[in-house]
Protein backbone atom coordinates (compact mmCIF):
# COMPACT_ATOMS: atom_id res chain seq x y z
CA UNK A 1 0.00 0.00 0.00
CA UNK A 2 2.95 2.37 0.26
CA UNK A 3 4.66 4.20 -2.56
CA UNK A 4 8.37 4.55 -2.17
CA UNK A 5 10.94 6.86 -3.69
CA UNK A 6 12.24 4.34 -6.21
CA UNK A 7 11.03 4.49 -9.81
CA UNK A 8 9.35 1.09 -9.76
CA UNK A 9 6.02 1.18 -7.99
CA UNK A 10 3.70 -1.79 -7.49
CA UNK A 11 0.12 -1.37 -6.34
CA UNK A 12 -3.06 -3.43 -6.05
CA UNK A 13 -5.80 -2.57 -8.50
CA UNK A 14 -9.38 -3.58 -8.93
CA UNK A 15 -12.95 -2.59 -8.46
CA UNK A 16 -14.93 -4.49 -5.89
CA UNK A 17 -18.05 -5.92 -7.47
CA UNK A 18 -16.60 -5.91 -10.97
CA UNK A 19 -15.32 -8.87 -13.00
CA UNK A 20 -11.87 -7.23 -12.98
CA UNK A 21 -11.37 -7.33 -9.22
CA UNK A 22 -8.81 -9.65 -7.73
CA UNK A 23 -6.98 -8.99 -4.50
CA UNK A 24 -3.98 -10.90 -5.84
CA UNK A 25 -3.54 -8.98 -9.12
CA UNK A 26 -0.82 -6.38 -9.26
CA UNK A 27 0.67 -4.15 -11.89
CA UNK A 28 3.90 -2.22 -12.17
CA UNK A 29 4.42 1.29 -13.48
CA UNK A 30 7.57 3.27 -14.02
CA UNK A 31 6.91 6.85 -13.01
CA UNK A 32 8.09 9.58 -10.73
CA UNK A 33 7.03 9.22 -7.08
CA UNK A 34 3.63 10.73 -6.39
CA UNK A 35 0.08 10.10 -7.46
CA UNK A 36 -1.02 10.00 -11.04
CA UNK A 37 -4.37 10.91 -12.50
CA UNK A 38 -6.34 8.88 -14.94
CA UNK A 39 -9.51 6.96 -15.58
CA UNK A 40 -7.80 3.60 -15.04
CA UNK A 41 -8.47 4.11 -11.31
CA UNK A 42 -12.28 3.96 -11.04
CA UNK A 43 -12.43 4.05 -7.24
CA UNK A 44 -10.46 6.35 -4.97
CA UNK A 45 -7.20 4.81 -3.80
CA UNK A 46 -4.82 6.36 -1.28
CA UNK A 47 -1.04 6.25 -1.50
CA UNK A 48 1.69 7.24 0.90
CA UNK A 49 4.63 9.03 -0.72
CA UNK A 50 7.90 8.90 1.20
CA UNK A 51 9.30 12.23 -0.01
CA UNK A 52 9.42 15.23 2.35
CA UNK A 53 8.00 18.36 0.72
CA UNK A 54 6.11 21.40 1.95
CA UNK A 55 2.33 21.33 1.39
CA UNK A 56 2.40 23.31 -1.88
CA UNK A 57 5.27 21.25 -3.31
CA UNK A 58 3.47 18.03 -2.37
CA UNK A 59 0.31 19.28 -4.07
CA UNK A 60 2.25 20.03 -7.27
CA UNK A 61 4.35 16.87 -7.10
CA UNK A 62 1.49 14.44 -7.06
CA UNK A 63 -0.03 15.54 -10.39
CA UNK A 64 -3.51 15.23 -8.88
CA UNK A 65 -4.72 16.17 -5.41
CA UNK A 66 -3.41 15.42 -1.98
CA UNK A 67 -5.69 13.01 -0.13
CA UNK A 68 -9.33 14.11 0.08
CA UNK A 69 -11.14 12.11 2.74
CA UNK A 70 -14.91 12.53 2.64
CA UNK A 71 -16.30 9.68 4.75
CA UNK A 72 -15.28 7.03 7.28
CA UNK A 73 -14.62 4.40 4.60
CA UNK A 74 -12.16 6.71 2.82
CA UNK A 75 -10.64 7.68 6.17
CA UNK A 76 -9.91 4.01 6.88
CA UNK A 77 -8.35 3.55 3.42
CA UNK A 78 -6.16 6.64 3.87
CA UNK A 79 -5.08 5.48 7.34
CA UNK A 80 -4.12 2.08 5.93
CA UNK A 81 -1.96 3.73 3.26
CA UNK A 82 0.30 5.55 5.76
CA UNK A 83 2.75 4.10 8.29
CA UNK A 84 1.87 5.02 11.87
CA UNK A 85 5.18 6.65 12.70
CA UNK A 86 4.88 9.63 10.32
CA UNK A 87 2.99 12.90 10.19
CA UNK A 88 1.87 13.36 6.58
CA UNK A 89 0.20 16.08 4.54
CA UNK A 90 -3.38 15.53 3.39
CA UNK A 91 -5.27 17.78 1.01
CA UNK A 92 -6.93 19.99 3.61
CA UNK A 93 -6.15 23.70 3.97
CA UNK A 94 -7.73 26.47 5.98
CA UNK A 95 -9.66 29.35 4.40
CA UNK A 96 -11.95 27.94 6.04
CA UNK A 97 -10.92 24.24 5.95
CA UNK A 98 -11.28 23.19 2.32
CA UNK A 99 -9.96 20.31 0.22
CA UNK A 100 -7.14 21.03 -2.23
CA UNK A 101 -9.52 20.80 -5.21
CA UNK A 102 -11.63 23.58 -3.64
CA UNK A 103 -14.46 21.31 -2.50
CA UNK A 104 -16.04 21.30 0.94
CA UNK A 105 -16.67 18.24 3.08
CA UNK A 106 -18.40 17.93 6.40
CA UNK A 107 -16.42 14.80 7.36
CA UNK A 108 -13.49 15.47 9.72
CA UNK A 109 -11.25 13.35 11.95
CA UNK A 110 -9.59 16.03 14.08
CA UNK A 111 -7.19 15.23 16.89
CA UNK A 112 -9.30 15.31 20.10
CA UNK A 113 -6.97 17.98 21.50
CA UNK A 114 -8.26 20.24 18.73
CA UNK A 115 -6.71 22.69 16.30
CA UNK A 116 -5.22 25.51 18.33
CA UNK A 117 -3.29 27.40 15.63
CA UNK A 118 -1.16 28.81 18.45
CA UNK A 119 1.48 30.18 16.07
CA UNK A 120 -1.15 31.64 13.74
CA UNK A 121 0.20 29.80 10.72
CA UNK A 122 -1.18 26.25 10.95
CA UNK A 123 -3.15 26.40 7.73
CA UNK A 124 -2.45 23.01 6.12
CA UNK A 125 -3.88 19.64 7.11
CA UNK A 126 -1.91 16.67 8.37
CA UNK A 127 -2.63 13.15 9.51
CA UNK A 128 -0.52 12.45 12.59
CA UNK A 129 1.07 9.29 13.97
CA UNK A 130 -2.21 8.38 15.73
CA UNK A 131 -4.01 8.72 12.36
CA UNK A 132 -6.03 11.77 13.37
CA UNK A 133 -5.92 15.17 11.69
CA UNK A 134 -4.25 18.38 12.70
CA UNK A 135 -3.03 21.64 11.24
CA UNK A 136 0.54 22.67 10.63
CA UNK A 137 2.65 25.43 9.10
CA UNK A 138 2.45 24.79 5.33
CA UNK A 139 6.18 25.43 4.84
CA UNK A 140 7.25 22.43 6.97
CA UNK A 141 8.55 19.52 4.90
CA UNK A 142 6.50 16.35 5.38
CA UNK A 143 5.78 13.07 3.61
CA UNK A 144 2.29 13.02 2.12
CA UNK A 145 -0.77 10.96 1.24
CA UNK A 146 -2.45 11.46 -2.12
CA UNK A 147 -5.34 9.85 -3.93
CA UNK A 148 -6.32 8.82 -7.40
CA UNK A 149 -9.68 7.76 -8.75
CA UNK A 150 -13.21 8.70 -7.85
CA UNK A 151 -15.08 8.97 -4.56
CA UNK A 152 -15.56 5.62 -2.78
CA UNK A 153 -19.21 4.61 -2.69
CA UNK A 154 -20.91 1.93 -0.63
CA UNK A 155 -22.80 -0.67 -2.67
Distances (CA, A) of 154 to 44, 66, 74: 12, 22, 11
Per-residue pLDDT at 55 exceeds 50? yes
Claim: this prediction has a pTM higher than 0.85: no
Distance of alpha carbon 92 from the chain centroid: 10
The whole-angstrom separation of Cα 55 and Cα 130 is 20
- Cα–Cα distance for residue pair 133/153, rounded to 1 Å: 22
Residue 27 in any domain: the answer is: no
Residue 22: inside a domain: no
The total number of structural domains that make up the chain: 1
The predicted-structure confidence for 3-27, as pLDDT tens digits, reads as follows: 433 333 333 333 334 343 333 333 3
Q: Tell me what pLDDT residue 35 has.
A: 58
Burial of 52 (0-12, 13-18, 19+ CB in 10 A): middle
Domain CATH for 106 = 3.10.100.10
Amino acid sequence: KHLVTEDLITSNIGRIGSPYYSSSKTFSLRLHPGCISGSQFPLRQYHYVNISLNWSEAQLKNYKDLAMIENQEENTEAKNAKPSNYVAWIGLYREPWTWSDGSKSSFRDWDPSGINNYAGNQHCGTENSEHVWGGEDCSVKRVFVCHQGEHLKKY
